[in-house]
Chain A
């Protein structure tokens, strides 16, 4: 099963492969930072003093503080690394939540049809019509009252934004797959509706979901940073968050102190690029309209003198290059 899933990825070629490799490499660095945060950072994310000695305010980057310190006496390198942990946790949670809810709702809506379908389509279309940042602000406002300003509340408020995308894709593919003969065959062997949805439709309608997931991950990060920048996201005492740090650094940046803003900003940009590259790479791999399979090279057994073969290949390459 796994080899079946990984098959198309292994057979990628050209652009798709490079997009994937670059994306995975960039994202991998951030994943490592997130996992190893407690060991590679000199301070905790909200730590103002080390061994009773207070950290300097707005110290420029140096051997002691690689990225400098900010106006809250925090070590910026530690904030960036811990921020990677926050960002990835929120992304994973929100993508997971919206994926699960969106896919399940889409399956049920597409399969059951009728009024359930109409109502759900109407509701998700209404959600889709809102600007995503506005929707996230409203929900983080509502949820932070109920759940506090933590990582889970931020993830849930992003979840609401992305459910309609999964819902639409899954619902539409389900509507067309529902009429397939193998679904009728499943009914003919006595499968219940739940079995038909989970065993017969699910595997055939979720194929484009991973691509949406990775593309949404990049978007989720930008939205999270936007929330933090506006002061609605994760509260500063709960976790380090890049958007919040940039907001704090704005005034200093106007005064010529660049380091508190540039490092969290670069982190956001890099992670967004990494996730987008993975998404685009996967899209080119999975989407049959864009996919190009790598041709297996035919290796002919050596014959005669090896040097003459190399020479012939060289001239062939030369003429190819001249054209």
Chain B
């Protein structure tokens, strides 16, 4: 495919546009009204939690992940629309590198000429009380680049470039007079009228009609070729990422779990989460309705991410070192009870006692009381016996009966960093394969 710069990848590698290092964006939780009144610490959500990557000049980088994975926040942090908590966003501008993370608002306003954004909802991205000519030309006016007849001329050029032709017909219209696709074209015209270097596109087609989506993507590819743009394409739609991106970064709970060339990732996904995402793409073939190995459970709370690898509670390939902890034990027990009859649940529930204390992330969990310790131990053994292949058991160091009940100690976990593996970078303990593992899946 002509748009994929595989052959030139090594040549462009040195020519990076953005270097993002250990970027963190945390949001304070608001908590209850009482907590706010007494100024109690209500915790933070780690929307972006230590992300490092390089964005090369002229490439299309896809940020892919479920909602809540931090992809939109990361995109906004690149533009300085969100202030990072720590880390650096180094932009290699024409006049030398600039750190977006520490730039003042004034410096950022100047940089807006080169860094632009396209928003998810075209219906909301245009000021409803501003006509298209003023809206599209406003960037030029704000930066004092053009006015009067020249402004009008350049607006007409930009509108026709994005396919709103003849421009005269659209210039006096208001956003409410246009369709969704037309509005998104106008938003694109406003973004490219300054001749930017980077365009962050935040799910630019997800709110559009199916028939318009491909056209808008085609238009964006055309603009990239004409204007030498670099794109960061944020999406949850893997199919469009496959079509549009040169490289893809898969995000999960504020981290990049896998990043590499699109072809490589789609052909042989390494991270279990990437595999799960790819498996979730619907196939229009009734013969192939095989049960998929989709991740179990829900995406965890970003305020209290799992210990170790963030994906381990949902991971079908989890092993002993993945960072098992008390909350996983709670999920396991509750799952076990869904399979028991109410009387048994009643009995075992009383035996184990309240599970709420397991909600505090810890490497050691205590169940039951001193008197019931032996019975709780038996119960745990029975649950283990039901499904010995459950990966959690492989992460259990020991189960001890103590004066406060049964204490379950977990093995120390590893929080895998991004590592090179066969042309992609992946944050999984299984990759690269040379890392020695304990036998996975317990006795299985």
Contacts and interface: CB of A to CB of B under 8 A. Distances in A.
A54 interface: no
Given A185-B117, A185-B119, A192 B126 contact: no
Interface stretch (B127-135, B275-283, B300-308): B127-135
B430 interface: no
Nearest to A4: B174
Interface in A182-212: 182, 184-192, 195, 199-200, 203-204
A191 B126 CA distance: 14
Contact of A195 (B112, B121, B125, B142): B142
A92 interface: no
B81 A186 contact: no
Contact of A188 (B81, B110, B126, B174): B81
A189 B189 CA distance: 12
B116 interface: yes
B413 interface: no
A203 B110 contact: no
B119 A181 contact: yes
B117 A188 contact: yes
Given A182-B125, A199-B130, A204-B128, A189 B119 contact: no
B124 A188 contact: no
Contacts of B120: 181
Given A191-B138, A199-B130, A203-B130, A182 B124 contact: yes
B127 A203 contact: yes
A180 interface: yes
Contacts of B228: none
Contacts of A4: 174
Given A204-B127, A204-B128, A181 B113 contact: no
Nearest to A205: B129
A185 B187 contact: yes
With most chain B CB atoms within 10 A of its CB, the pick from A181, A186, A200 is A181
Contacts of B81: 184, 187-188
Nearest to B112: A190
Contacts of B340: none
A72 B79 CA distance: 74
B336 interface: no
Given A181-B119, A184-B81, A185-B119, A191 B142 contact: yes
Given A185-B119, A195-B142, A190 B109 contact: yes
Report which residue of A181, A188, A191, A192 has the largest number of chain B beta carbons within 10 angstroms of its beta carbon.
Answer: A188
B40 interface: no
Nearest to A203: B129
A128 B110 CA distance: 43
A30 B188 CA distance: 52
B71 interface: no
B244 to A, nearest CB: 21
Contact of A181 (B121, B191, B194): B121
Contact of B139 (A182, A190, A204): A190
A123 B79 CA distance: 37
A200 B138 CA distance: 11
Contacts of A182: 124-128
Nearest to A193: B105
Interface in B87-118: 109-110, 112-113, 116-117
A189 B125 contact: no
Nearest to A183: B127
Contacts of B116: 188-189
B384 to A, nearest CB: 50
A190 B125 contact: no
Nearest to B117: A188
26 contacts: A181-B120, A181-B124, A182-B124, A182-B125, A182-B127, A186-B138, A187-B81, A188-B79, A188-B117, A189-B112, A189-B139, A189-B194, A190-B110, A190-B142, A190-B143, A191-B138, A192-B142, A195-B142, A199-B127, A199-B130, A199-B138, A200-B127, A203-B127, A203-B129, A204-B127, A204-B128
Interface pairs A-B: 8 shortest CB-CB: A190-B112, A203-B129, A181-B124, A189-B139, A188-B117, A190-B109, A182-B127, A185-B125
Interface of A: 4, 180-182, 184-192, 195, 199-200, 203-204
Given A188-B116, A192-B109, 19 more contacts: A180-B124, A181-B120, A181-B121, A182-B128, A184-B81, A185-B190, A188-B81, A188-B112, A189-B112, A189-B138, A189-B142, A190-B109, A190-B112, A190-B139, A195-B142, A200-B127, A203-B127, A204-B127, A204-B129
